Structure 1
Amino acid sequence: MIDVLVIGGGNAALCAALMAREAGASVLLLEAAPREWRGGNSQHTRNLRCMHDAPQDVLVDAYPEEEFWQDLLKVTKGVTDEKLARLVIRESSTCRGWMRKHGVNFQPSLSGTLHLSRTNAFFMGGGKALVNAYYRSAEELGVQIRYEAPVDRLELEGGRFVAAHCKGERIAAKACVLAAGGFESNREWLREAWGRNELGEWPADNFLIRGTRFNQGVLIKYMMEAGADIIGDPSQSHCVAIDARAPLYDGGICTRVDCVSLGVMLNQAGLRFYDEGEDFWPKRYAIWGRLVAQQAGQIGYCIIDSKAIGRFMPPVFPGEKADTLPELAAKLGLPVATFMQTVSDFNAACRVGDFDHTVLDDCHTEGLAPPKTHWARPIDTAPFYGYALRPGITFTYLGLKTNDQAAVHFGGEPSGNLFVAGEMMAGNVLGQGYTAGVGMSIGTAFGRIAGTQAAAAALKQEERIHAAA
């Protein structure tokens, strides 16, 4: 019998498998995707949010625990477990040496991401390189890996894991780590979670899946039915406004359009609907998917002028370009008169001070609803650009309630040998909102904890077996 079974193939699962193996346990990892698509959403990531009290290699200045906590508190609006959140924050300060040992390299922030140079450590080669490094290390350490191995159900007994069923095979293990992701690729479940809006639309029908197509939420659903304690709102997720031309699945980072804070966002009626300059983009980019989802047709339009060019990471898909604003409105299919009135009102309301996109500057609007709090400059310099955006779901927040030992709970009681990590428990820390890189912080912290605890649980069972013999 295997000591530790890890179900999932992304960052959290790999961290768990590596830690369990390092602790001396035999480990089998089941990845639902084929080898070429291994890694879940982790293959699309690029950085890890890290606490640090002084400059460290690729990280500048300091990013202390309390500031990290306040940043998280701000985006979640308090819908978070402080104990578990602070555990993640502290773990983020100590994991990079271990990551390097397993082949992960880091690089300084590139142009367009310099605002993250203090808070986030970037992976050399991005998430795909990180995933590949972990798989190489796991194979070298003797972790058994199976691809195209989806688990459809578990055997549980009194809150304890007994076995998993994968393609008709029963796989028993002394302990198990669940790290199989959310349900973002399950369109029916997204429909159920979001329901119909007041226009009778199913918003979820217009969502693009920024992450992996393999996260169907099968094991979350199974655990709900098995009586596991659940946490999170099924409609909450890491939801980004991405290019409307992005692929249905696996668009990843490159589908993002990062110029929202430099211009205005309009709905299909040609009206603004939220403060584009509320806060720094890394703290606010993940609210825009939900905001766009709440608009008719689940579509929004980012409008900038040439003054914004060069101040954000260029998107992969070029936007619509025009020499006049009426021409741009027509190209985007927006009502020209309303579009022009909206932009005119915005331009007239701008109070331009010292523009600086790297700080919360004093360029703002007055007498305009909604306001633009920072970086407000008239849209008046041709050529003009427009990007159609749709909600892009990266991962969902509904998951399993856990504790600082990463144990799955049943009726408030922690399981002795069933643990959870990554997106399947992220809702404990992320009740809503997001800030760049924190998903990888959660997955790394709880993956490492879950792997350690699973190995210890397997060892205890082995000791009990020997004692009974």
Structure 2
Amino acid sequence: MNPDVLVIGGGNAALCAALMAREAGASVLLLEAAPRDWRGGNSSHTRNLRCMHDAPQDVLVEAYPEEEYWQDLLKVTGGRTDEHLARLVIRHSAGCRPWMRGHGVHFQPPLSGALHVARTNAFFMGGGKALVNAYYRSAEARGVQVRYESPVDRLEIENGRFVAAHCTVNGRPERIVARSCVLAAGGFESNRDWLREAWGRNARGEWPSDNFLIRGTAYNQGVLLRHMLDEQGAERIGDPTQAHMVAIDARAPLYDGGICTRIDCVSLGVVLNREGERFYDEGEDFWPKRYAIWGRLVAQQPGQIGYSIIDSQAIGRFMPPVFPGVVADTLPELAARLGLPVERFMQTLDAYNAACRAGSFDHTALDDCHTEGLVPPKTHWARPIVRAPFYGYALRPGVTFTYLGLRTDDTAAVRFGASASPNLFVAGEMMAGNVLGQGYTAGVGMSIGTAFGRIAGHNAAQAVLQRPPQGLAALIAEDRQAQGDVHAVA
């Protein structure tokens, strides 16, 4: 039997869509390209959801109002965002947790002394893998059909209306007809050829992207995204070189290294390129607001490699990565062990140490420890690197997900020029570029995926019922009514 709603993808956004469509009474089939053991896409590697709240709420302390959330997002994107859609995502984040709990997701108690994330982010108990597993259990219990190892390579679309999807099931081609469809199949970060195409060659004729590592799934090849952009004429959004890109341990695996490969001591020391030179302000802002710029910064350095250097004063102040750092009793010895030019390394460290101005060091606040007369400066948490032993971590760009995607509106409909599809919707990484033109702040990807996954699934069911699609604001209003929230939706 052909389903009412076909959901293509297997991560957070796809699962939210499938659950919402099923709650509305539609029959749902979800196609996941990965095997069951690797289901969930990049969502399996997530930890939290960035949430707006005007007062303390269950697992969130203090307040994180809409305007502060918006300013945080505006700062990291440099204004490359659709404010209307961004603010709707922000407002949705205030009320989605009860719905998530209703599908088996649990949140852990507030984290204390962790760079304000206890105020801004709700952490999943058991991480993203537990969240994904909870959603799959809930979906299957509610009658959602799930097929694994079922990649979709093309769609049939007539005058902007979805007709059918062509996929491979058990090695055989299959055509699946549905009355509406949600696209949530991720970006193209795992497609090495497409990364090469986007980033091109450098002046030496090398391919910079060959040095990138993929933090998440190997199954986000972007096949369906390319089909929609190049063959179906869907309206695009975003720059193919922009991505959630983090500086991770250079020894990380090519795929699926996840959170444990991230190097979180950057703001506690200095970062050098392979020539032994600093290239950016390591103390510009709190780490959760700045960690995602460092992958791109390293990608712009010679050989796409960097080195985070700290001393023993930093130990215990950051989440330790899975691999231990290179350790030495002296700075020249550390430089030699890292393969860096010792003389230039020492010139850089000596200049940095001399430029540090004493203050009240506090890594949980924007403190007054800074440099003077140094380019680039270090704005906060600048302490001389003088206490042995010394540690170094080689860094590579780690791509989480790409921002090139499909343009949409607050109904999550796929757009073809001036018109929106009546029965084809998009969510998650395939449309995140509408909100994220560049940059990132911790947890916002899950906010986008949850918000647009839910509205896409809801409207896919509305299309089956031959009702007009509803905007995200309507869903926010329903969430607030369910919580007894009397605040009006702007």
Aligned residues: 462
SS at match of 1:213: coil
Cα distance per residue 1:143-162 (max 9 Å; x no partner): 00000000010000000100
SS at match of 1:342: helix
Letter in structure 1 aligned against 2:410: D
Q: 1:111 to 1:54 in 2, by over 3 A?
A: closer
- Cα distance in structure 2, aligned partners of 1:309 and 1:61: 28
SS at match of 1:201: coil
SS at match of 2:421: strand
Match of 2:76 in 1: 75
Match of 1:175 in 2: 180
Residue 109 of structure 1 and its aligned partner are, at CA, apart by 4.3
Match of 1:371 in 2: 377
Residue 275 of structure 1 and its aligned partner are, at CA, apart by 0.4
SS at match of 1:216: coil
Match of 1:290 in 2: 296
Match of 1:438 in 2: 444
Letter in structure 2 aligned against 1:320: V
SS at match of 2:337: helix
SS at match of 1:328: helix
- Cα distance in structure 1, aligned partners of 2:348 and 2:263: 21
- Cα distance in structure 1, aligned partners of 2:281 and 2:428: 31
Residue 48 of structure 1 and its aligned partner are, at CA, apart by 0.2
Residue 114 of structure 1 and its aligned partner are, at CA, apart by 4.7
Residue 105 of structure 1 and its aligned partner are, at CA, apart by 0.2
Match of 2:337 in 1: 331
Residue 199 of structure 1 pairs with residue 197 of structure 2: no
SS at match of 1:5: strand
Letter in structure 2 aligned against 1:427: G
Q: Paired residue for 2:258, among 243, 252, 261?
A: 252
Residue 113 of structure 1 and its aligned partner are, at CA, apart by 3.5
Q: How does 1:382-461 map to 2 (within 5 A)?
A: 382-460=388-466
- Cα distance in structure 1, aligned partners of 2:59 and 2:316: 23
Contact persistence 2:330–2:390 (CA under 8 A): yes
**Structure 2 unaligned spans of 5+:** 468-490
Contact persistence 2:17–2:453 (CA under 8 A): yes
- Cα distance in structure 1, aligned partners of 2:356 and 2:111: 31
Q: How does 1:55-454 map to 2 (within 5 A)?
A: 55-110=56-111, 113-167=114-168, 168-225=173-230, 226-454=232-460
**In percent, how many aligned pairs have the same letter?**
82
Letter in structure 2 aligned against 1:432: Q
**Structure 1 unaligned spans of 5+:** 462-469
TM-score scaled by structure 2? 0.93
Contact persistence 1:254–1:315 (CA under 8 A): yes
SS at match of 1:117: helix
- Cα distance in structure 2, aligned partners of 1:166 and 1:267: 45
- Cα distance in structure 1, aligned partners of 2:33 and 2:418: 30
Contact persistence 1:112–1:313 (CA under 8 A): no
Letter in structure 1 aligned against 2:314: A
- Cα distance in structure 2, aligned partners of 1:212 and 1:352: 44
SS at match of 2:116: helix
SS at match of 2:466: helix
Letter in structure 1 aligned against 2:117: L
- Cα distance in structure 1, aligned partners of 2:462 and 2:46: 30
TM-score scaled by structure 1? 0.97
